[in-house]
Structure 1
Amino acid sequence: MATTDGMTPRERYIQTLKFGKVDRIPFMPGGPRESTLKRWYGEGLPKNEPWMNVLCREIGIQPERTQQQVWHGVETKMMPVFEEKVLEHKDGHYIVQDWMGNITEISDEFDVTYIRSAKDFVTRKWHKFPVETRADFEDMKKRYNPDEPKRYPADFAERVKKMKDRDYVVSIHVSGPFWQLREWCGFEPLC
């Protein structure tokens, strides 16, 4: 579905990456965290309208309209993930093992799903990381096997066909090297 000015969001994005001519810069902000959205509602954001529509209206741009989007379903995270579990609960804090194998301490206002999904801002005290030795790294590598069948949904080929003539941008998430090494080893060993 082309926008009123003639470019689809996909065309606009590709031309921006190629330093081509575009009708406007793509506007693709990330979504708000739970506490941010709660505050916005307290400040008057209507609850009966998507926040993105309100934001676009407030800053004076047209929201991007696209055809129904199909998600590719490709999973780039480790497989299998570590078991998420509470190891200890004391003094208003949980000591947890998250899905990445980190042992961290978080406020008991939250649970491990806040670490998995980044639903809100959760300050963590780091206790232990999953990669401390070369042997740990060799074990971790096995969790990133690109040939793992579960990385692709059963209907992947069908999804790809549906996405062939799309007007929207398809994205895939892969952590950058520093971010990923921080998750495996922590900050201090990287310095």
Structure 2
Amino acid sequence: MKRVAVFASGNGSNFNSIVEGEDESYQVALLFSDQPQSYALTRAIDIGVKSESLSPKDYPDKLAYEADLLALLIRNHIDFIVLAGYMRLIGPTILKYYKDKIVNIHPSLLPEFPGLNAIGQALDAGVRETGVTIHYVDEGMDTGPIIKQEKVLIEKADTYESLQKKVQKVEHRLYPETLKELLRKDEVVAEASVN
């Protein structure tokens, strides 16, 4: 079973669905936030998941911040990192240590509408569909290899709020499903290399 850390900066609704999706493939061992006032931290306390927060403002630079963050992950024996509304780019310190062990979810069909406000970008562009993408994390913004995507149709009557609800409904189902698939495969590969 993989010990997972979920990184969140805000509300943490995907965090809840990831915890609810736990099975023999993974356990959420840590909720980490870069925002000490994040509601995700409150959610973690409410459901009994260990939570930690480090504020980047307390560090002279990203290197120092990520050095402490890496030490925190190692202390908690974290095997895999799941970004769920974490609003920072992951730097080389974490990327190198957790190579191919960090995933992110994004509310669009990447490479369309990367970065902030992807739902608003899709509505502004007048496209007929958007969706959800789960991808590995690299040094770019929403540029890592795509693992899974699912389309969400945009109807004429959709507002930002209605489209966000449709996208989140897909996210909350797709993220735990995909994590289980990924981490089960990881276990099989690890067992094969031992034997």
Normalising by structure 2, report the TM-score: 0.23
Q: Which structure shows the bigger proportion of residues in helix conformation?
A: 2
User: Which one scores higher on RCO, CA 8 angstroms, separation ≥ 6?
Assistant: 1
Larger radius of gyration: 1
Q: Which structure shows the bigger proportion of residues in strand conformation?
A: 2
